Amino acid sequence: MDVLSHAMTVYQKDGIQQYNGVPCEQSQVCSMLRKVGAHVANLFKSSAGGPAVFKSPESFELSPDGAFARENPGDMIALIFEVVVEGNRNPRLWYENGDGGIDGEINTTIRKFLVGPATIAGNPAEGVFEKTYKNAKQKLVTILETRLPF
């Protein structure tokens, strides 16, 4: 399944659109995925050695059969998108850029994915290393729910 199809299914769930304040239209969800993809791209290297650039992150594929792979940009974009939109209760968040807005929320979610719930340096061993998408999502949500305040 491609990331856009997955994201549309997630975003059509009851309440998600209202909580996020963004219309459930394909073009809007694509914009949201591109925002997430720009942050996730920093985890990957381009052929030139710098951060990757994802021009159409919505067209990436998820791993087959419910699997999850950290090295698959499609899995990463889908997971971060899903966890952010399901956890968000601020309908202005996607319209506010920077650390106090959607960029901060995406970065925090990625950081917690990588290093677990600690507030300072974190411990990479406490990050998400699950082999299925369902378990990776569950682990990330648990980390976010148990994170300590800054």
Please, are residues 116 and 143 in contact by the beta-carbon 8 Å criterion? yes
Q: What are the pLDDT digits (tens) for 44-93? A: 987 777 778 888 888 899 999 999 999 999 999 999 999 999 999 999 99
Phi and psi at residue 66, in whole multiples of 5°? 75, 10
In percent, the amount of the chain with pLDDT more than 90 equals 81
pTM of the model: 0.93
Better-predicted residue by pLDDT, 149 or 141: 141
Q: How far is the C-alpha of 108 from the C-alpha of 113, rounded, in Å?
A: 8
The residue type of 94 is: W
Look at residue 126 and give its three-state secondary structure.
helix
Give the burial class of 8: count Cβ atoms within 10 A of its Cβ; 0-12 exposed, 13-18 middle, 19 or more buried.
middle
Per-residue confidence band for 133, with pLDDT thresholds at 50, 70 and 90 = very high
Domain regions of the chain by residue span: 3-146
